Structure 1
C-alpha cells in the first residue's frame, strides 16, 4: 500500500452487522484504542476523530462492502486512508498468533497488527465510484435472477422427465426460447396438448417463434405419440408446470429489463469505449470488469491474472510432484466473465487462431479457453494501464 511509511496510527476494524470492534495501535505497537463500534455514523465519526488528531491514520477492515460499507464511507469522508485485508490473508495471519480464541477484539487486533507490520497483505480502497457501486448491486441481482431461472428451468425439465420423457426431450432442448414457456403456461400436460391439437399448438408456437414454430409443434406431437400410458403424478405436474413456466417467463423478463439499466450505466462509464473496443466484450462482461477491476491497483498483468484466478499455480515437491495446475482461487465472477468472453471471442479470427494453436499443442477445450482468457486478460491490463483502445496485431505479409 502506498504511503504506508507515513502512517502514525493503524486502526483494525472487525466489522459486524450491528456492531464493529476497533483496535488502534501506533507505529511502535502500543495500543491506543480497543472498543466496540456501533453501526452509527455519528459515533463512528467521533471515535475516528478521537485518534485522528494524534497523527496520520490508516483504517483497515476485513469486509469493505455490505456490512463494512458504512465505516469505509465515514473514514473516507473524514479524509483518512482506508485499506482492506482479504479474509483468507487475515485467517492465515491469525494462525501465526498464539491462542485459538475467535473473538471480535482479537480479530480487530490482528487486523491492526497486520496493517502495521505486513503492508504487502493490504489492498487499497479508492473513493467509491457511484456508477461502479450501482453496477455492482445490479450485477449481483442479475446473478440471483440467473440462478433462480436455472433452478426453475431444471425443475420444469425434471417434472417433464418424470411424467413424459419423450416430451421432455423435445421441450427441454428448446426451453431457453420464450415460446416453450408460453406453451407450458397454456397447455401444461400431455392431455391438454392432445386436446388442443397440432394446428392450435403450431399457431401458438409460431406466434413466438415464426420460423421454428410449426416444426416444433410437429416434434411435440410425435413425442406425444411415443407414450400412451399415464404416469402417476401427471395431474399434479399439470398444476405445477404452468406456475413454473410463468415464473421462468417473469425471471427472464426481469433480466431483460435489468440488462437495459446495466447497459445505460456501462455506456455512461469512462471506460466504456476502451472495454468495448476489444472483441467479444458484451454488456454483462463489461459490467463485471468495471465492478471487479476498475478502481483497484494491479502491479502487472500477472497480478491481474492471479486476482482473476487465470494464472496457473506451480506445484513442486522433490521429484514426485511437478507441474502447473489451474488455480482454484481468485475472483470467481471475474474469472467467469473472462471465460465466457473468451468463448464468445472464438468468432474473432485472431482469437480462434490462438485457440487452435493451443488445441494443437494437446490442450483440452477448457484448457485452451483458459489460455485464451489469460491472453485477453493481459491485453486488457495494458489497455486499462495506458487508456488505449484495442488494436489487432498487424499481420506480416508472406
Structure 2
C-alpha cells in the first residue's frame, strides 16, 4: 500500500493525466506499462504493437494510452523522479509475485492441516477446511492453550492471589469457533470416549453448549499435538 500510494502521488505530480487512464496505479497492466520503456518520458513513445503485447492491455486501454500520448506532459522533475517511479512500479510487481507465492504456501499448509483434521471422526470436509484456513501455521501458537483460546474453546484465567475466576476472551475467531463447535458435537456422537466425557459434563450441570465446549477444549490438546507432530488422529485405548 505504501508503494502504491507513493507511486500515485508521484505520477500526479510528475506526469499529470497519466493515472487517469486507469485510476488505480496497482493495476498490473498499468505497472507493466510503466516499466516498459527505459525512462518515464519514454511512455509517450511506446508503439501500439508494444502496448498490445503487454499482458492485460487490450484495444480499449491501448486507445486510451495513445490518446494520452498525444497530450502527454512531464514536469521537470521527471528527469530524476522518473527512475524512482519506475523502480516503485517494479517493486509493486515483485511484491505481487511474492504475495502469490505466500498464498500458495498458505494454501498448501492449510491443505495439509485439513487432511490431518479429516482423520478425526466427525470432522467433515467443510469444518476441516474452515479450521485449516483459520488456524494457518500451527507454529504461531505457543501452546495448545493459545490454540484453544483462538478457537473459542477456553476462557482467559483471571485468577490472582486468593481470587479465582475466568472470563471469555475478546479476540476469538468466530468462524473457527463455529466450525469447532459443529465438528466437536459430531465427533462425540462417533467416539465413545468423547460421548462419555460429554455426558459427564452434562451430569455436572453444564448446558449442551458448555459440555461441547469443554470437550472441544480437550480436543484442542489433541489437535495441537497432531499438527505439531504431523500425525493423524488415533483413539487411545
TM-score between the two structures when normalised by the length of structure 1: 0.35
Is 1:275 the counterpart of 2:117 in the alignment? yes
Q: Please, which runs of 5 or more residues in structure 1 have no aligned partner? A: 1-12, 23-36, 51-70, 83-124, 134-265
Offset at residue 130 of structure 1 (A): 7.5
Distance 1:131 1:314, change over 3 A: closer
CA-atom RMSD in angstroms: 3.8
Decide which of 84, 90, 97 is 1:77's aligned counterpart: 97
Distance 1:317 1:302, change over 3 A: closer
Is 1:362 the counterpart of 2:205 in the alignment? yes
Partner SS state of residue 290, structure 1: helix
1:133-282 → structure 2 map (5 Å cutoff): 269-282=111-124
Offset at residue 312 of structure 1 (A): 0.4
* Higher RCO (CA 8 Å, separation ≥ 6 residues): 2
The answer for the alignment partner of 1:128 in structure 2 is: 103
In 2, the alpha carbon distance for the partners of 1:382 and 1:332 equals 23
Decide which of 9, 28, 39 is 2:26's aligned counterpart: 39
The answer for the alignment partner of 1:221 in structure 2 is: none
Distance 1:335 1:21, change over 3 A: farther
Task: List per-residue Cα deviations over 1:260-311 (Å, max 9, x = no partner).
Answer: xxxxxx9xx4445422211110011111122112345322212222222222
Counterpart contact for 1:355–1:369, Cα < 8 Å: yes
Q: Please, which runs of 5 or more residues in structure 2 have no aligned partner? A: 8-23, 35-84
The answer for the alignment partner of 1:291 in structure 2 is: 133
Q: Higher helix proportion, which one?
A: 2
Partner SS state of residue 391, structure 1: coil
In 1, the alpha carbon distance for the partners of 2:154 and 2:2 equals 30
Distance 1:14 1:278, change over 3 A: farther
Counterpart contact for 1:338–1:377, Cα < 8 Å: no
Task: List per-residue Cα deviations over 1:18-51 (Å, max 9, x = no partner).
Answer: x6579xxxxxxxxxxxxxx94244379833877x
In 2, the alpha carbon distance for the partners of 1:272 and 1:362 equals 34
Partner SS state of residue 286, structure 1: helix
Report runs of 4+ in structure 1 exceeding 6 Å deviation: none
Q: Higher strand proportion, which one?
A: 1
Partner SS state of residue 195, structure 2: helix
Decide which of 213, 218, 236 is 1:375's aligned counterpart: 218
Counterpart contact for 2:114–2:131, Cα < 8 Å: no
Counterpart contact for 1:288–1:333, Cα < 8 Å: yes
Counterpart contact for 1:309–1:328, Cα < 8 Å: no
Partner SS state of residue 103, structure 2: coil
Is 1:392 the counterpart of 2:213 in the alignment? no
1:51-66 → structure 2 map (5 Å cutoff): none
